[in-house]
Structure 1
Amino acid sequence: MNNFDWKKLQNGSDIRGVALEGVANESVNLTPQVANILGKAFVKWLEQKVGKSASDLTISVGRDSRLSGPELMQGVMEGISSIGSRVYDFAMASTPAMFVSTVTSGFDCDGAIMLTASHLPFNRNGLKFFTAQGGLEKKDISDILALAEKNEFEEAVAKGAIEQHDFISVYADGFVNKIRQAVNHPQHFEQPLQGLRIIVDAGNGAGGFYAQKVLAPLGADTTGSQFLEPDGTFPNHIPNPENKEAMASICQAVIANKADFGIIFDTDVDRGAAVDQFGKELNRNRLIALISAIVLREHPGSTIVTDSITSDGLTQFIEGELKGVHHRFKRGYKNVINESIRLNQEGQDSWLAIETSGHGAMKENYFLDDGAYLVSKLLIELAQSKLQGKSLPDLIATLKEPEESEEFRLKIGVPDFKSYGHEVIKKLQAFVSEQSDWTVVPNNYEGMRVSCRSSMEDGWFLLRLSLHDPVLPLNIESNVKGGVSQIATRLIAFFQDFESLDISAFFIQS
């Protein structure tokens, strides 16, 4: 492992790498050997964190449906076992389930590892780490990689046992019991979803269990559910609620099967979205509005923390209709979660942290971004609405939605892309100050959000620097037809003076 670049594996608070050949210019850097060393490094990190010796630690390991998953998982487990720790082999699992294993009586794992790369292409994989305090932070990952780079691990005289457990069934039973108790159906307590057709699209990821182990025991008709079988080639569509093809697929399935509700998960089930009975997406701003309505009924006045690209209509809905507080923060699921936790620590109630990507974390659930938990909250509301003769979308009937919305990703063509990107944003601020009908919105936590007040634009845009990539994402929304194009045209005039900025995205999408 001499000259191996361990730092390249870090992706914020996760580890991500190329695990399979097959994509041009992408060399494999996440092998079973690397995974083995990372397993050992996690044990050593845990020893320092929880004050136990390796032989007293229990670590659970699971994976999603990726082709590289079994071999990498075996490498991780053998590494953990080799220095004396006990391993629980959960086989196919979800990312949230792995955390739950650290707080479930009878398991009480000291740590957990999930092999996943979320919605990334088939050749990628990665590791997510958990303790009972939640997912690890960026510094924790740096520390684990530093231990891996040293690779100074003593083999144990007695290897730790590797035990197989069906934890996904334990995890699923938690949802079954929660939904039964919350709905409290007067005639069908055991099967409160009886009479409802609910279909699941797992995208051939790890989420198929939800149809079989949660919905079926609750009495739902799951006829029409699709792509439940794990398949790491992802042959039908990318398992990603933000992907247009994926959402179109579940919407069409709901309509074709005359379903009452549709559910779609990403590969490792930390994100979810839904579709109403009319085949309309309950995604992005609509999903945030829906779960906010539920949360603010349960916890009046709560602060809802979102990422930076949520719509003005959502703010009006949360604050005007629901009488809550909308705190628009930064992109990045860990950012919104940590901000919500911070607010609570300072005495400001915040029961929900959620990104437009579908990452949603609730105070009542350890601030864990769990797509299955979020969906289960919606199903409780769906069943209760039916008992009351109402419809779930009634909750967001007054949400004002934009007429148009687009994201343009402007690539930066210089090595020091962060400095270049910040300079572009700084000069844009000066440009905006010269526009009589554009105003910088206060309280920007990343990039710059601008309100566009003319009747032909009636919207906003946000320019920010990507968290990891040499890209300036530009989000534009408008309440009038043609408004996005009007705003984009004015911005093109500004951007075209930057020689190292690729603005071809404007012309591809226009």
Structure 2
Amino acid sequence: MIDLSRIVKAYDVRGTVPDQLNEPVAEALGRAFVQTLRSRGEFAEKIVTAHDMRASGPALATAFANGARAEGADVLEAGLGSTDLLYYASGVLDLPGAMFTASHNPAQYNGIKLCKQGAKPVGQDTGLTEIRERAQQILDSGARVPEGELKGGLEQYSLLERYATHLLKLVDLSDIRPLTVVVDAGNGMGGYTVPAVLGSGLPLTIIPLYFELDGTFPNHEANPLEPANLVDLQAKVRATGADIGLAFDGDADRCFVVDERGEAVSPSVITAMVAVRELAKDPGATIIHNLITSKVVPEIVREHGGEPVRTRVGHSFIKAEMARTGAVFGGEHSAHYYFRDFWGADTGMLAALHTLALLGGQPAPLSALAKDYERYAASGEINSTVPDTAAKMAEVEQAFPVEIDRLDGITLSFPDGSWANVRPSNTEPLLRLNVEAPTAERMAALRDEMLAVIRR
């Protein structure tokens, strides 16, 4: 018997196919999704679905659709798409949505990201727990829906062209200087969406890397957060003399940036850069950042007259704060970027367009632009396996008697301006460490001191 508590995570569904996630599971989740939305008074007469390039995606999406149709909901199948294309569909059509993807996870995985009308997130506290419980009951009953008993209708509808047109209305690239751009799609959905958005009529020369859609990821994992997966992009940028490199993850909702030297530009720097552009359009606006982005983000936001708001790590928290505050933009260390103009949802493609517009709107190279935003040295996220995360965090507190904030795990603030965050994983016996300091030497020393406590 499949235990859904093992695959229904804090923000989405994620599991191995077919032992954890298969067609009966997807069908049960489709039924439970519609049931839950209706029980909460949230319209569910029609939903929209999309799937990435993984081989299991079409069958899982069809099974989910059958579950939704068994409950009387009509289903609009967008077919192949990136996660932000699904959010676009949910937003522009004002429909709940389901995206079938495991993002950057290895080939044996698949998953489902759910949203309500207008791309509003579905997480543990906003319906996902109820969906899991209802789906578990359906699964345990062993009941399947006969094909002839599907009450809702089914329609196929491609949204790629409309998605591209919408993004290009938000950021005008027509007057920028010519740029050579290397794009590493990692055999993920960037290979589908990049040609539609950046492929014609713009002063861009696109050099593609791994645009072939292949859910087995034959070249490297589609996770640009890992430095090893940026190596090919960095080498290609240097070899071609390109102005910039872009790397997308598997479902293309995250975008990483490499400068003309082949050096990675941190997502905190990109967050600060885009924040400045958004504040120029909307002076005094609110900008969201999570608590492990660099201190440069709130500093830059304040310097440009904006209001920074700090939140927990995770898209459901960012999106909730976007809605609560009316924020114009939000960014995370993981290269998720959220836009009020995009229903508060995250889109790597729109962040890429802003970066290209900034670079192409002036003569300096990207490395020179980024330097103005690089004020601190950061460790990046370091994971450690520990048997008892709560006990270990208490041990860290005792070892470092400084000011502590408990918004998400524990954040320790040191007198010299350094800080460190230690927080537990939602799904594994891991502690995640992030350290930032005024200098690389201080960062390395503090990082090593904290790891010595965490790992002893």
* 1:14 is aligned to 2:12: yes
Indicate which of 440, 452, 458 corresponds to 2:403. 440
Q: Distance in 2 between matches of 1:101 and 1:376?
A: 19
**Per-residue deviation at 1:392?**
5.3
Q: Distance in 2 between matches of 1:406 and 1:358?
A: 12
Asked whether the equivalents of residues 7 and 142 of structure 1 are also in contact (C-alpha less than 8 Å), the reply is no
Q: Distance in 2 between matches of 1:453 and 1:407?
A: 22
**Per-residue deviation at 1:288?**
1.5
| 1:41-79 C-alpha deviation (Å, 9 max, x unpaired) | 222233334576x7xx22222111123212212222233
* 1:171 is aligned to 2:163: yes
Q: Secondary structure at the match of 1:103?
A: helix
Asked whether the equivalents of residues 317 and 398 of structure 1 are also in contact (C-alpha less than 8 Å), the reply is no
Aligned AA for 1:298?
A: K
| 1:251-281 C-alpha deviation (Å, 9 max, x unpaired) | 2222222222322211112211222333332
Q: Distance in 1 between matches of 2:376 and 2:59?
A: 46
Q: Distance in 2 between matches of 1:19 and 1:220?
A: 42
Q: Distance in 2 between matches of 1:13 and 1:465?
A: 15
Provide the residue aligned with 1:328 in structure 2: 310
Q: Distance in 1 between matches of 2:278 and 2:406?
A: 25
| Deviation larger for 39-48 or 357-366 | 39-48
Q: Which has the higher contact order (CA 8 A, sep 6+)?
A: 2
**Per-residue deviation at 1:109?**
5.8
Q: Distance in 1 between matches of 2:381 and 2:88?
A: 35
> What aligned pairs does 1:170-249 form with structure 2 within 5 A after superposition?
170-179=162-171, 182-183=172-173, 185=174, 192=175, 195-249=178-232
Provide the residue aligned with 1:141 in structure 2: 128
Asked whether the equivalents of residues 244 and 366 of structure 2 are also in contact (C-alpha less than 8 Å), the reply is no
Q: Secondary structure at the match of 1:487?
A: helix
> What aligned pairs does 1:262-411 form with structure 2 within 5 A after superposition?
262-319=245-302, 321-344=303-326, 350-383=327-360, 385-386=361-362, 389-390=363-364, 395-403=369-377, 405-411=379-385
Q: Distance in 2 between matches of 1:412 and 1:250?
A: 34
Change (3 A) 1:126 1:493: closer
Asked whether the equivalents of residues 379 and 444 of structure 2 are also in contact (C-alpha less than 8 Å), the reply is no
Change (3 A) 1:271 1:304: same
Indicate which of 384, 402, 412 corresponds to 1:450. 412
Q: Distance in 1 between matches of 2:57 and 2:207?
A: 28
5+ residue gaps in structure 1?
21-27, 186-191, 345-349, 434-438, 496-501, 504-510
How many residue pairs match? The answer is 449
Q: Secondary structure at the match of 1:473?
A: strand
**Per-residue deviation at 1:289?**
1.7
Q: Distance in 2 between matches of 1:297 and 1:4?
A: 51
Asked whether the equivalents of residues 121 and 319 of structure 2 are also in contact (C-alpha less than 8 Å), the reply is no
Asked whether the equivalents of residues 67 and 145 of structure 2 are also in contact (C-alpha less than 8 Å), the reply is no
Indicate which of 411, 419, 422 corresponds to 2:390. 422
**Per-residue deviation at 1:194?**
7.3
Asked whether the equivalents of residues 182 and 245 of structure 2 are also in contact (C-alpha less than 8 Å), the reply is yes
Q: Secondary structure at the match of 1:464?
A: strand
Provide the residue aligned with 2:66 in structure 1: 78
| 1:416-448 C-alpha deviation (Å, 9 max, x unpaired) | x4xxx3333334333322xxxxx325x541233
Asked whether the equivalents of residues 199 and 211 of structure 1 are also in contact (C-alpha less than 8 Å), the reply is no
Asked whether the equivalents of residues 30 and 125 of structure 1 are also in contact (C-alpha less than 8 Å), the reply is yes
Q: Distance in 2 between matches of 1:129 and 1:355?
A: 20
* 1:110 is aligned to 2:95: yes
Q: Distance in 1 between matches of 2:452 and 2:206?
A: 52
Highest Rg: 1 or 2?
Answer: 1
**Per-residue deviation at 1:230?**
0.9
Q: Distance in 2 between matches of 1:404 and 1:477?
A: 4
Q: Secondary structure at the match of 2:382?
A: strand
**Per-residue deviation at 1:359?**
1.0
Q: Distance in 2 between matches of 1:173 and 1:494?
A: 52
Q: Secondary structure at the match of 2:400?
A: helix
Aligned AA for 1:440?
A: E
Provide the residue aligned with 1:24 in structure 2: none
Q: Distance in 1 between matches of 2:310 and 2:353?
A: 25
Aligned AA for 2:430?
A: V
Aligned AA for 1:176?
A: L
**Per-residue deviation at 1:231?**
0.4
Q: Secondary structure at the match of 1:224?
A: strand
| Deviation larger for 170-179 or 369-378 | 170-179
Q: Secondary structure at the match of 1:273?
A: strand
* 1:93 is aligned to 2:56: no
Provide the residue aligned with 1:188 in structure 2: none
Change (3 A) 1:116 1:432: same
Change (3 A) 1:112 1:493: closer
| 1:316-353 C-alpha deviation (Å, 9 max, x unpaired) | 4333x434343333221222222333334xxxxx3222
5+ residue gaps in structure 2?
none
% same residue = 26
Q: Secondary structure at the match of 1:297?
A: helix
> What aligned pairs does 1:430-509 form with structure 2 within 5 A after superposition?
430-433=398-401, 439-440=402-403, 443-453=405-415, 459-491=418-450, 494-495=453-454, 502-503=455-456
**Per-residue deviation at 1:119?**
0.9
Asked whether the equivalents of residues 381 and 392 of structure 1 are also in contact (C-alpha less than 8 Å), the reply is no
